[in-house]
Structure 1
Amino acid sequence: MRNSIEFVVYGEYALFTDPLTKLGGEKLSYQVPTYQALKGILESIYWKPTLIMVVDEVRIMNPIRMESKGIRPIEYGGGNTLANYTYLRDVRYQVRAHFEFNMNRPEMAYDRNEHKHHNILKRSLQAGGRRDIFLGARECQAYVEPCVFGEGKGFYDGYGELHLGSMVHGLNYPDETGRNHLEVRLWNPVMKDGVIQFIRPEQCTQVRMIKDMEPKHFDETNVVSADELLTQLEEGRNP
């Protein structure tokens, strides 16, 4: 696929929180990563307002295992609460994704250099990402490396279909939709032989508005173009 990238992300723990479990202060992870969590990892590897990262599919490499921990959440008003968080343990995922230009940002048209953005994305992946990588929650540190999607043995190879019920797909932000709302998308994923193929955000039929929101403005005054950024990388400067 055009402008595609394939990588493996792994870590000791992951927490893709089911929002229904947060009401009482507890947290329980979904069995698999959400589209939005993987998109966040992509944007930690490389992000520009010029681009929209699209996750195509994820392959679950390790068995789904969970581990509960007693956590003391930070309470700024005082208190000594003990909460129960249930994490995924020893996770490893292969991800295939690509980027597209964000046509809802006409002010970024000057930065639509497809070839250079793709090169910077691949270099950033080789370096392990431009920002910290984590799996769903800040305490779940993770690492990324290039890979060939589908290579290697996965635990769920030949497993068949596993219906995962209703899950959060992701969030719609105003700069990506053209609507001045923050929205949440729901869907019903099916894992087949360890692989989940994501539908595109605009294909989600279950969308709920959360709140009004205005997009942040970007232009030449606060964004470095792909041409200048690639020059800095080639000269060994840290942009």
Structure 2
Amino acid sequence: MRNSIMFKVYGRMALFTDPLTRIGGEKASYAVPTYQALKGIVESIYWKPTIIWYIDEVRVMNEIRTQSRAIKRRKYEKDGNELSFYQYLSEVCYEVKAHFEFNMHRPDLAADRNENKHWQIAKRMVERGGRRDVFLGTRECQGYVEPVKYGKEKGFYDESGKMPLGVMFHGFNYPDESGKDTLEVRLWQAVMENGILRFPRPEACKLVRIIRKGVAPKEFGIQDITSVEKESNGIESEISGGGAYELDSTAHRDV
């Protein structure tokens, strides 16, 4: 497919938490990455408001191991315990399949819909390790990205069969992607089969709850972003020896 990428992401630690319960003092990671966390990683590799990334599946390559650490939090009160215990995943490695589709709720960006050039840039950014810093769930968990031939390497759970993981956080429905004026949360019944999590599309999730109403989509106009043609030409010029090209990083969102 000319709109899909495959890559490996790995790191020393990861913390994939349920955002609905992470406001407490102590946090514990899911056993596997969430759809939203993987989407954030892909958007750190390459993203523009013209496209929406969809995570197809992820392979868990290493054994699932946890490690607890005492974290000294910011002190907002004079009294009380300053230490919290976070449970991280240790020495993680995942293979990810993802693809993008055009955001049809942004007709003002129709001029930027060039599938082949978006795909070429995305592949180049995978080779470079991402456009922005990659984090495995939280900022203190640095991640590293590189290209991979999906399914070629042996994974720890390749012959483990089906492993039900219960109800997990899937992701958020943002107004600029859903076309609604609400912020919604999605949940799903996660099952890992032979080390692979196959994610349903966001619209296929049946467990959806509204978090906030009256949320306006983010404002991006065609004049606010560098066109995909200009970015693609800049990369081609750099490859051919025309000098380094600085990719546009102004059009991004918090993930």
- What TM-score do the two structures reach when normalised by structure 2? 0.90
Partner of 2:253: none
Structure 2: state its 5+ residue gaps. Answer: 238-243, 248-255
**Superposed displacement of residue 11, structure 1:** 0.1
**Superposed displacement of residue 19, structure 1:** 4.1
Per the alignment, in what secondary structure is the counterpart of residue 196 of structure 1? strand
Per the alignment, in what secondary structure is the counterpart of residue 68 of structure 2? strand
Partner of 1:154: 155
Partner of 1:37: 37
**Superposed displacement of residue 130, structure 1:** 0.2
**Superposed displacement of residue 24, structure 1:** 3.5
**Superposed displacement of residue 20, structure 1:** 6.0
**Superposed displacement of residue 185, structure 1:** 0.1
Write out aligned runs for 1:18-37 (5 A).
18-19=18-19, 21-22=21-22, 24-37=24-37
Partner of 2:230: 228
Does the aligned pair in 1 maintain the 2:2–2:119 contact within 8 Å?
no
> Partners of 2:167 and 2:199 in 1: how far apart?
14
Partner of 1:130: 131
Alignment length, in residue pairs? 239
> Partners of 2:202 and 2:69 in 1: how far apart?
33
Partner of 2:240: none
With 13-22 and 131-140 compared, the bigger mean Cα shift is at 13-22
The one-letter amino acid of 1:37's match is A
1:144 is aligned to 2:145: yes
Per the alignment, in what secondary structure is the counterpart of residue 123 of structure 1? helix
Query: What do residues 63-94 of structure 1 show as CA deviations (whole Å, max 9, x unaligned)?
Result: 00000100012245666611110000000000
Percent identity of equivalent pairs: 57
1:190 is aligned to 2:191: yes
Does the aligned pair in 2 maintain the 1:10–1:91 contact within 8 Å?
yes
Distance change >3 Å, CA 147–CA 196, structure 1 → 2: same
Does the aligned pair in 2 maintain the 1:18–1:27 contact within 8 Å?
no
Per the alignment, in what secondary structure is the counterpart of residue 218 of structure 2? coil
Write out aligned runs for 1:1-239 (5 A).
1-19=1-19, 21-22=21-22, 24-76=24-76, 81-212=82-213, 213-235=215-237, 236-239=244-247
> Partners of 1:78 and 1:50 in 2: how far apart?
47
**Superposed displacement of residue 148, structure 1:** 1.2
Query: What do residues 88-120 of structure 1 show as CA deviations (whole Å, max 9, x unaligned)?
Result: 000000000110000011111010011100000
Query: What do residues 4-39 of structure 1 show as CA deviations (whole Å, max 9, x unaligned)?
Result: 100000000000013465353110000000000000
Per the alignment, in what secondary structure is the counterpart of residue 130 of structure 1? coil
Per the alignment, in what secondary structure is the counterpart of residue 165 of structure 1? strand
**Superposed displacement of residue 232, structure 1:** 2.0
Distance change >3 Å, CA 209–CA 64, structure 1 → 2: same
> Partners of 1:238 and 1:147 in 2: how far apart?
25
Per the alignment, in what secondary structure is the counterpart of residue 49 of structure 2? coil
- What TM-score do the two structures reach when normalised by structure 1? 0.96
> Partners of 1:107 and 1:21 in 2: how far apart?
37
Per the alignment, in what secondary structure is the counterpart of residue 109 of structure 1? helix
Per the alignment, in what secondary structure is the counterpart of residue 69 of structure 1? strand
The one-letter amino acid of 1:35's match is Y
Which runs of structure 1 show a deviation greater than 4 angstroms over 4 or more consecutive aligned residues? 76-80
> Partners of 1:136 and 1:20 in 2: how far apart?
14
The one-letter amino acid of 1:207's match is V
Does the aligned pair in 1 maintain the 2:2–2:115 contact within 8 Å?
no
Per the alignment, in what secondary structure is the counterpart of residue 142 of structure 2? coil
> Partners of 1:104 and 1:156 in 2: how far apart?
39
Distance change >3 Å, CA 161–CA 173, structure 1 → 2: same
